[in-house]
Structure 1
């Protein structure tokens, strides 16, 4: 049973490795589909149907069809998969040391620095905002003091 499992895992790895795009495009978007070439139409109500003689029963003459104006198309969504961005990052790396440095930088150091910066920002905001919640003269501070008074809560002394 273990040989069968090993073979299945190796097969899956082979399939996955074969699908890695070795040369990703910087504008990697989905290929065009049949829906991209179709146009919606509107029927022109200003033309009289009695004047058109070569149209059969239940048919709409082509001269009556007007393309519907299209809304501006949004730009394509960027490819946010890890594989494409990682391969783009390491494409200019010189040797395994460069790949290791880029991997550690992108996957360990940068998330750590971003998390620390966000935590320090939020902590600083909470510390600064804690002393201003009841001492201010703005409408928010007045409403907060009124609400605490209505509920018979003790307003903290921040002096």
Structure 2
């Protein structure tokens, strides 16, 4: 059984490593264009010509006369979050290996560390602030908390904090 697993793992490693580009080029390998990036809205002729109108039957409306429905505002394109593309774009202006090393450490070590620390501090602070939340009282937070529980038809707890007695 382990021989079949080893063979499967080796086959997968071979296929995966065969697709690794040893020397990627920024000009050639960066975010290939797709069909969606080349789409253009339809533009129809606003002025009907006499020749077009003569070829159309009485009960038909020529396409050149129709006005397309206005389009809804489009969302901006999704950013390319693939590591290789953003890394190649970052090091495209690097002049020597020291700058490449700095960019690599900044993007792969320092920024994830800072983001993780910030997220942990935010979540810890939120938990600390909510630890002593109460439903009784006249503070704005207590009023909002009671209102939220009433809107959701949740039963308000009778006691907050402490142990319940049997």
Shorter-chain TM-score category? 0.5 to 0.7
Match of 2:42 in 1: 39
Task: Give secondary structure in 1 for the equivalent of 2:132.
Answer: helix
What is the aligned partner in structure 2 of residue 23 from structure 1? 27
Structure-to-structure mapping, 1:46-125, within 5 angstroms: 54-55=55-56, 60-62=61-63, 64-125=65-126
User: Within 2, Cα distance between the matches of 1:63 and 1:132?
Assistant: 66
1:139 Cα deviation (Å)? 2.0
The unaligned stretches of length 5 or more in structure 2 are 1-6, 45-52, 150-154
1:59 CA drift (Å): 6.0
Task: Please give the alpha-carbon distance, in whole angstroms, between the structure 1 residues aligned to 2:122 and 2:19.
Answer: 45
TM-score, normalised on structure 2? 0.55
Instruction: Write out the 4+ residue segments of structure 1 that deviate beyond 6 Å after TM superposition.
Output: none
SS of 1:67's equivalent?
A: coil
1:147 matched to 2:156? The reply is yes
| Higher RCO (CA 8 Å, separation ≥ 6 residues) | 1
Distance 1:64-1:35 versus aligned 2 partners, 3 A rule: farther
TM-score, scaled relative to structure 1:
0.57
CA contact (8 A) 1:29 1:77 kept: no
For 1:9-58, what per-residue CA distance to the aligned partner results, in whole angstroms no more than 9, with x for missing partners?
A: 4x8656541794423799x68356698346388xxxxxxxxxx6643598
Question: 2: distance between equivalents of 1:108 and 1:12?
Answer: 25
Contact 1:135 1:141 in 2 (8 A): no
2:48 matched to which residue of 1? Answer: none
Cα–Cα, structure 1 residues 111 and 136, in superposed 2: closer, same or farther, change >3 Å? Answer: farther
Q: CA RMSD in A?
A: 4.4
- Secondary structure of 1:103's counterpart equals helix
